[in-house]
Copies of this chain bind each other. A is one copy, B any other.
Amino acid sequence: MKKSSVKFSPSDKCPVRTVLDRLGDKWSVLVILLLGAKGSVRFNHIQKEIGDVSQKMLTITLKSLEADGIVSRHVFAEVPIRVEYRLTERGESLLPHIQQLSDWAEENMRQILKDRKQYVA
């Protein structure tokens, strides 16, 4: 079993970057966690739950995640229209890793914030 290594060559498309650049935006991770927790959720509900994401950014975020095959979009031709989003299989396979990161964050946040304050450049 080879050590999990990373290609750091300049223009070479480092896989970590390709994916993390997307996850690194302001909302993707939150959306994934939310869908992971709630299953199938409609647009409006996602926005309410996250609380401070604009319509524009939520649309963009969902489209990116959809383009990457991480969430799927389901339209119900009701009136008023209903659109629900859920994780794809790929999204589900990503979820646990995000969750672990989230858990780590939760455990360490308090101390990190403390350290951050005490740190003097």
28 residue pairs A–B, Cβ–Cβ below 8 Å: A4-B103, A6-B30, A6-B37, A8-B30, A13-B109, A15-B106, A15-B109, A16-B33, A16-B102, A16-B106, A18-B105, A18-B109, A19-B104, A19-B105, A19-B109, A19-B112, A23-B24, A63-B121, A66-B119, A67-B116, A67-B119, A69-B111, A90-B108, A90-B112, A93-B108, A97-B97, A97-B101, A101-B101
Residue on B nearest A119 in the bound complex, by CB: B67
Q: Count identical subunits in the complex.
A: 2
Chain A residues with a Cβ closer than 8 Å to the other chain, count: 57
State the main secondary structure of chain A at its contact with B: helix
Evaluate whether A69 and B6 lie within 8 angstroms (CB atoms) in the complex, with A24-B23, A100-B100 already known: no
